[in-house]
Structure formats: C-alpha cells, structure tokens
Structure 1
Amino acid sequence: MALDRVDQTLLELLQRDGRMSAQALSEVVNLSARATLNRIHKLEDDGHIEGYRALLARQSIGEHVSVFAEIALKDQRQATVQRFEQAMVACPEVIACYLVSGRYDYLVRLACRDLAHYRDLTNTWIDDVGLGIDKVVTSTELQTVKEFAGFPLMVRTQR
C-alpha cells in the first residue's frame, strides 16, 4: 500500500506520541476524528504500525550500566547463527541485537546492573561452546547523546 501525505503525517505524529488522541490527530491532518481513526486502524492492519509502548525514564529502572558488545562468531554455519540469535532473544539484559557487516558479526546492546554482571554474563556466553562466540569487544556507554526515538520517514507518497 502506498502511503499518502495524511498517512505519512499520522505515522510521524504517532511515532512521536503514540498516545495522541484521534481528535488531536484529526485537527493536524484536517479529517474528522472517525476518518482519522479509520486511517490509523488501516495503518495498523497493513502492518505499518507494529505496536505501541511506553518509553521509561532511565532513572525509574534504577542504577545500571549500558554496554555495547561487538561479537564475532567462530563460524557462520546456520546452526551456530540460530543458537546465538535464540540466546540473544531469550536474554533479558539484551535490549538490542543487530546482525552487521564488518569486522564482527553482531552488535549487541545490554543493560546490566553493573560491569561485574556484564562480565559474568559474557563469560557464560563464551564458555557455552554451542553459541560459537570467538570474540567479544566491549564499549561502555558513558553518556547518551541521542536515544532512538523513531525512524525518519522516507516513504514515497502518493500525489
């Protein structure tokens, strides 16, 4: 489905504030609240909106350390890759995991109680031969300059 300007505007607004009311959205896009709500439901049904969630203030979750781990696997066999990816998905400390190109295979972001917690976790992974981890290179977050707040919308619009 090609997105028109109204759809794109709705996506931009909802990405910024997923709790924005249909009435408030309708005023921006110059449609009735019912027509706006119908558009939103269509965007959801068509898979353009995957869900809604709350962004928590970091101080509300208590002290923690955010760590980026560059992980290289020993081999690229499908079984190794699947075991590794399943372990990342199942690990609550892993808040993001990306398959990347370059000198390592995965970039993993973790939220841990402290560095000892991170060290214990990664040592457990390395000791698990089935995960096939060759090397872990760690960078500790010192300060968040810009946190992920949504994707820039670069979709084609209808005229």
Structure 2
Amino acid sequence: MQLDRVDLKLLEMLQQDGRRPVQALSEEVHLSARATLNRVRRLEAEGAIEGYRALISRSAMGELVSVFAEIALKDQRQSAIQRFEKRMAATPEVVACYVISGRYDYIARIACPHLNHYHQLINAWLDDTALGVEKIVTNIELQTIKEFTGFPVPRE
C-alpha cells in the first residue's frame, strides 16, 4: 500500500477523531471535499482504515479492575493454540490479547467488575484441560499513565 503525505495526514486526523467532517479534513489537507472523500474511501477499501468506533469512558462502565495476565500454555500444538485463541477472542472480559516472545506465550488485558470475577474467570481457564493453560501470572493495573490512542503515523 503506497501512502503519500496527504494519506498519512488523513490517517492521523481520523485516528484522532473519526467523526471529523470531510469538509474539515479537506481544509487541513488542501484538497476539495470530493477528492478528500475519495481518498478516505480508498484508504478504507485498501484496509488502511479498518473501522471506526467510539472510545467509551472507563468511568462510564463503573469501577473495573484492569488486569494484565501473562499466560503460558502446556501444549504448543496448533490445535491447542487455536482452541486457546478462540476462547480469548470469545471472552468479553478479554479486551486485548497478544502472542509474545519470552517466558510466556500470551499477554492479555482483562477488564472485570471485581477481582473475584477475574479469579473465577482464570480458574475456569485453568480447570479446562482442553484449553491447556499451564500458568497465569496476574499483574493488576494500579494507574493508567497513557492509554492506547492509536499507532504513530510516520512523517514523510
């Protein structure tokens, strides 16, 4: 995918505010509204823009316990990995999950209404022998310094 200076600027602006009107975008990139809309649609069609969503305030959800769980699997066969990843993707409390290198296989960010809920969740994973979880190390978030707001957009 070839991205020029205008594409990068549009991606940066839309990442900051996905509801920014096309007219405002066009003024920033010095193109007509039609040309800007065509570029945004091309960026969407080519997959540079995967979608749009609202960032919901954590306080609006009530007090949530946010946990980072380092997870090691007993079984590294593809079938076991697929089973585990399917479960993570289907669990609403798992708000992010990544394959990592090092001592553990995955790191998951988990949001629960209380610590007991988290404990029940991971106990179910550990008790499910088909899931193949060997070990979970829990790190409780004490304070958020910087939340993910998007990827850095390269400068030309």
TM-score for the superposition, normalised by structure 1: 0.96
Q: CA deviation at 1:35?
A: 0.7
Distance 1:139 1:55 in 2: 24
Q: Quick check: 1:77 aligned with 2:77?
A: yes
What pairs up with 1:42-121 in 2 under 5 angstroms?
A: 42-121=42-121
Tell me how far apart the structure 2 counterparts of residues 41 and 15 of structure 1 sit (CA, whole Å). 15
| 1:36 to 2:36 alignment | yes
Aligned mates of 1:126, 1:154 — CA distance in 2: 42
Where does residue 15 of structure 1 map in the other structure?
15
Q: Quick one: distance in 1 between partners of 2:89 and 2:57? A: 23
> How far 1:154 sits from its partner (Å)?
3.2
How far apart, in 2, do the equivalents of 1:136 and 1:45 lie? 39
- Residue 64 of structure 1: how far off its partner (Å): 1.1
Q: Which amino acid aligns with 1:128?
A: D
* 1:135 counterpart residue number: 135
One-letter code of the match for 1:150? G
Residues 23-70 of structure 1 show CA distances to partners (whole Å, capped at 9, x for unaligned) of 000010000111100110010011100000000011111111000000
Structure 2, unaligned runs of 5 or more? none
Identity of aligned residues (%): 64
Where in structure 1 are there 5+ consecutive unaligned residues?
none
Comparing both chains, which one has the higher relative contact order based on Cα–Cα distances under 8 Å and sequence gaps of 6 or more?
1
Runs of 4+ in 1 over 4 A off after TM superposition: none
1-side partners of 2:2 and 2:20: how far apart? 23
Q: Which residue of 1 aligns with 2:153?
A: 153
> Could you say what secondary structure the match of 2:19 adopts?
coil
SS in 1 for 2:108: strand
Looking at structure 1, the residues matched to 132 and 31 of structure 2 have their Cα atoms a distance apart, in angstroms, of 54
Quote the offset at 1:153 in angstroms: 1.7
CA contact (8 A) 2:8 2:154 kept: no
CA distance in 2, matches of 1:154, 1:5: 9
Letter in 2 for 1:89: A
Residues 1:6 and 2:6 aligned together? yes
Aligned partner letter, 2:34: R
- State the superposition RMSD in angstroms: 0.9
